[in-house]
Amino acid sequence: MSGESPSEKSQTAPETDRGSVPDDPIVGIDLGTTNSLVAFADAAGPRILDLDRGADEGVPSSETGLVPSVVRYRGDAVEAVGRRAAAGLEEHATRTVFSVKRYMGRRFDDRRDDAEASPYQVVSGARGLAGVEIDGRVRSPEEISADLLAHLRDRASEALGVPVRRAVVTVPAYFDDAQRQATRDAGRIAGIDVVRILNEPTAAALAYGIGGRGDAETIVVYDLGGGTFDVTVLEVMPADPSSPDGEAIFRVLATAGDTHLGGDDFDRVLVGNLHEAAMGEPDPERRARRLAVLRAVGARAKVALSDAAATRIRLDGRGLVPDLDRTLDRSDFETAARPLVDRTLDACARALKDAGLERASIDRVVLVGGSTRMPMIRKAVESWFDRPAYVALDPDRVIALGAAVQGSILAGTRRDALLLDVIPLSLGLETAGGAVAKLVVRNTMVPTRSVEMFSTSVDGQLNVGLHVVQGEREMVADCRSLARFELRGLPPMPAGIPQIEVVFNVDANGVLGVDAVERRSGRRARVQVVPSNGLTREEVDRIEADSVTHARDDMMVHRVVDLAVNAALDVKWITEALDRVRGDVDPEVVASVESGLVALRSLITRAREDPRSVDPDAFHAAKDHLDRASMPVHEASIARSLRNDESTDA
C-alpha cells in the first residue's frame, strides 16, 4: 500500500467557498417578538450573521447574532436599536418599544389588555389599528418593525460585504392575511424586497433538512419564545426530484398556543410576589422601571438555572424594589413553573386533536425558541410525546437558519451537499490518549445505528467526558470536533470496570444522536448534532485525501496510544500485586519484573509526550515481556488471596 503518492492533491485543494457571497443575496430574517436574527446560506449551508459584532465585544457565544427586537425613539428620531436599546429599557421605559410583533396588523380593541400592561403608550391609530405614541408622535407597528429591519439590513450588509436588498421573512403559522401584509409592509418601508413570507415552523423543518428527501412525514414544532408559545402540526411532502423548483410542500394541519405564555412568565415565577407588588405601583414611569428591574433579575436567574442546579440572586433594589439576596434551586423553580409547562402540553393536545392525530402518529418533534433551553421543557416535551426531540441546532437560531435555506433555494443555490444519502465523513468518539474510535464509517447509508462499549482509564472516575468527532484521521487532534458532553454521577469504581455503552444514531435527515449509558449504575447522557453543518463538498474531499496521505502514520500512532493506555493499566496492577507478595516470590523474578516496570514506564511517558517517537512493535514487545515475567507474581497473588479466604472462613 502506498500512502505517499496522493499528497500533492491535498496540498493544492481549493479553499472553501465560505467567503463567496453573490452580488444580490437573499438572506433569511427571523423577525421575532423578543429577538431577531439574520442568516445566510450558501453551498456550505446556513449560518447566522454576527450582526452586532458581539463576538468582539465579549457577548457570550450563546447570544451572538441575537438582536433584541427593541427600538428606542426620541422625538422624530430612532435613538437606539437592538442590544443598546434593550440595555436602556429600564432607564427609558416609556420611550422604548419591545414586543411590537404583538400589535402587527391588529386593531387596538383586540389588544387592549396588552396595551394597558405596556410601559410604552399603545393607542388606537389610523383605522382603529394599534399604534405607539412617543413624544406626541404615533407610529404604526409596521413603521417600528421597519426601523428594526433597516438596522438588521445595514448590519447584515456589513457582515456580508455586499448590500442586502432581498429577504425571506418568517411569521408565526397562525398569522392571518392582515398580519402577513403588515410584515410585508414593514419590509417595504425598510427598503427590503420580501421575496417570501415563510411560516416559522416550516423554517424550523427546513433548517433540519426535513423535506429534503425520503418519505412524507408529520412533525410537531414546539416553539416557546420570550412571550409567546406556538405549537404547529406540519405535514411535509418531500421535494419531487423531477420537479423544476424542487421545493418540498409543507402543509399546516393545526396550530395552537398561547400568545401570553413564554420565557417572561418563567422570569416572573422567579421573582414571585415582587412582580405583583410592582404592578400595583400607581406612577406609570416608576412602575415601568420597577417591572424592568425585576424582569432582568428573573431572566438572569432563569438562564443560570438552565445550566446549574442552583443560583444566587443578589440585587441592590435602589429604592425601587426591595434588596434581594437569596439562593434559588432548579428543583424549586421547576415545581413552581410546572403549571406553565402543563399549559404548553395542553396546547399540544389541542393541536393534535384539531389535526385528528394521535401522539404516536407524529414522526418528529422539533424544539424551537430560547425557552426550550430550560431542561424542564425538554424533559416534559420528550416524555409527553414519548420520543427524543430534535435539539441539535440552537433553538433560538433555528428559524433564521431555515429562512436562509429557503432564501438559497429561491436564489437557485441549493445546498445539495447537505442532502446526501450517505454519511460523508466518519463519526467517532475520543478514547483515552486522544485516539478516535470510529462508530460510523464514511459512506454508510442513512439512517444507521452503531453501538460500542467503553470504560474508564482512571480509578474512581465519577464523570466521564465524551467527545464526538468527525473525520478520517486516527487522532482527535486531526479530526473535526462536533460535540462534548458528560456522563455524570458514576459510583466510584476501579478503572476498566464501568461498562459504558455508546450508541450513535443517524436518522434519515442526517441528524446524529449520541446516547451513553453506564450499565451498572444506569446513569445516562445524550447529545445531538447535525454533522454536516458548515461542511462543504471541498472540505469533505480534502479531509478524505488527507486521511489517505496519513493512513500509515496514523495507524502507528493509534496503536502506540492504545498500547500506552493498556500498558498503564498493566503497570498499575503488577505494581500493586508485587507490593502484596514481594516476600512470596523468587528475588530474581522480583528484579526482572522491576526492571520490566521501569522500561515500560519510560515507554508510556514517551508515548504520551510524543507517540510518533515510539516504535509500536518494540512497545508491544516490552509490554509482552513484562506480562510474561510477572506471571509468578500473579500466581503468588492468587495463592495469597485463596489463603486469606480460607482464614476468614475459619
Q: Determine whether 265 is an active site residue.
A: no
DSSP string across 410-441: HTT---GGGS-SB-SS-EEEEEGGGEEEEEE-
Q: Distance between CA 175 and CA 199 in Å, rounded?
A: 9
Q: With residue 79 as reference, give the H or E element that holds it.
A: strand 77-81
Residues 6 or more apart in contact with residue 386 via CB below 8 angstroms? 359, 360
Figure out which of the listed residues 52, 114, 396, 478 binds ligand ADP, where binding follows CB under 6 A. Answer: 396
Burial of 15 (0-12, 13-18, 19+ CB in 10 A): exposed
Figure out which of the listed residues 92, 151, 373, 523 binds ligand ADP, where binding follows CB under 6 A. Answer: 373
Q: Distance between CA 416 and CA 378 in Å, rounded?
A: 31
Q: In terms of CB distance, is 266 or 619 closer to Mg ion?
A: 266
Under rule CB under 6 A, residue 616 binds ligand ADP: no
Please say whether the beta carbons of 51 and 67 come within 8 A: yes
Which residues, 123 to 152, sit near ligand ADP by CB under 6 A? none
Q: Distance between CA 292 and CA 352 in Å, rounded?
A: 37
Cβ 267 to ligand ADP shortest distance, Å: 7
Under rule CB under 6 A, residue 33 binds ligand ADP: yes
**Catalytic pick among 42, 217, 223, 539:** 223
Under rule CB under 6 A, residue 199 binds ligand ADP: no
Q: Length of the chain in residues, anyone? A: 650
- Binding piece for ligand ADP, criterion CB under 6 A, among 156-164, 365-373, 486-494, 562-570: 365-373
Q: Determine whether 200 is an active site residue.
A: yes
Under rule CB under 6 A, residue 170 binds ligand ADP: no
Q: In terms of CB distance, is 141 or 227 closer to ligand ADP?
A: 227
- Binding piece for Mg ion, criterion CB under 5 A, among 29-37, 120-128, 510-518, 585-593: 29-37
Q: In terms of CB distance, is 162 or 313 closer to ligand ADP?
A: 313
Q: Distance between CA 71 and CA 134 in Å, rounded?
A: 12
Under rule CB under 5 A, residue 32 binds Mg ion: yes
Q: In terms of CB distance, is 27 or 495 closer to ligand ADP?
A: 27
Question: Rounded to the nearest 5 degrees, what angle is found at the Cα of 527, between the Cα atoms of 524 and 530?
Answer: 160
Cβ 250 to Mg ion shortest distance, Å: 17
Over the window 178 to 217, marking each residue x when it contacts Mg ion by CB under 5 A and - when it does not, the resulting string is ----------------------------------------
**Catalytic pick among 30, 230, 396, 539:** 30
Amino acid 185 reads D
Round to the nearest angstrom and report the end-to-end CA distance of the chain.
64
Figure out which of the listed residues 118, 306, 311, 547 binds ligand ADP, where binding follows CB under 6 A. Answer: 306
Question: Cis ω on the peptide bond leading into residue 447 (within 30° of 0)?
Answer: yes
| Widest pairwise Cα distance in the chain | 104
Number of residues that bind Mg ion (CB under 5 A): 2
Query: Residue 374 binds which entry of Mg ion, ligand ADP, none, with Cβ cut-offs from 5 to 8 Å by kind?
Result: ligand ADP
Q: In terms of CB distance, is 268 or 523 closer to ligand ADP?
A: 268
Amino acid 256 reads A
Residue 49, φ and ψ in degrees, nearest 5: -85, 135
**Catalytic pick among 42, 52, 90, 101:** 101
Q: In DSSP terms, which residues pair with 328 in a beta bridge?
A: 311
Under rule CB under 5 A, residue 395 binds Mg ion: no
Of 467, 451, 437, 547, nearest to 506 by C-alpha is: 451
- Residue in the block written with cell 426591595: 322
- Residue in the block written with cell 422625538: 75
Figure out which of the listed residues 226, 531, 596, 616 binds ligand ADP, where binding follows CB under 6 A. Answer: 226
Q: In terms of CB distance, is 32 or 82 closer to Mg ion?
A: 32
Q: Determine whether 30 is an active site residue.
A: yes
> What stretches of 326-430 show up as alpha helix (H) in DSSP?
330-355, 375-385, 398-410
Please say whether the beta carbons of 384 and 344 come within 8 A: no
Query: Residue 396 binds which entry of ligand ADP, Mg ion, none, with Cβ cut-offs from 5 to 8 Å by kind?
Result: ligand ADP
Q: Distance between CA 68 and CA 227 in Å, rounded?
A: 13
Q: Determine whether 9 is an active site residue.
A: no
Over the window 243 to 282, marking each residue x when it contacts ligand ADP by CB under 6 A and - when it does not, the resulting string is -------------------xxx------------------
Figure out which of the listed residues 89, 182, 231, 303 binds ligand ADP, where binding follows CB under 6 A. Answer: 303
Cβ 639 to ligand ADP shortest distance, Å: 59
Q: In terms of CB distance, is 306 or 431 closer to Mg ion?
A: 306
Under rule CB under 5 A, residue 45 binds Mg ion: no
Q: Distance between CA 399 and CA 376 in Å, rounded?
A: 22
Figure out which of the listed residues 46, 65, 119, 370 binds ligand ADP, where binding follows CB under 6 A. Answer: 370
Under rule CB under 5 A, residue 225 binds Mg ion: yes
Amino acid 441 reads V
Under rule CB under 6 A, residue 371 binds ligand ADP: yes
| Radius of gyration for the chain, computed over Cα atoms and rounded to the nearest angstrom | 30
Q: In terms of CB distance, is 225 or 596 closer to Mg ion?
A: 225
Buried b (16+ CB within 10 A) or exposed e, 351-379: bbeebebeeeebbbbbbbbbbbbbebbbe
Question: Rounded to the nearest 5 degrees, what angle is found at the Cα of 131, between the Cα atoms of 92 and 84?
Answer: 30
Under rule CB under 6 A, residue 34 binds ligand ADP: yes
Which residue ranges make up the site for ligand ADP (CB under 6 A)? Answer: 32-35, 225-228, 262-264, 299, 302-303, 306, 369-371, 373-374, 396
Which residue ranges make up the site for Mg ion (CB under 5 A)? Answer: 32, 225
Q: Enumerate the active-site residues.
A: 30, 101, 200, 223
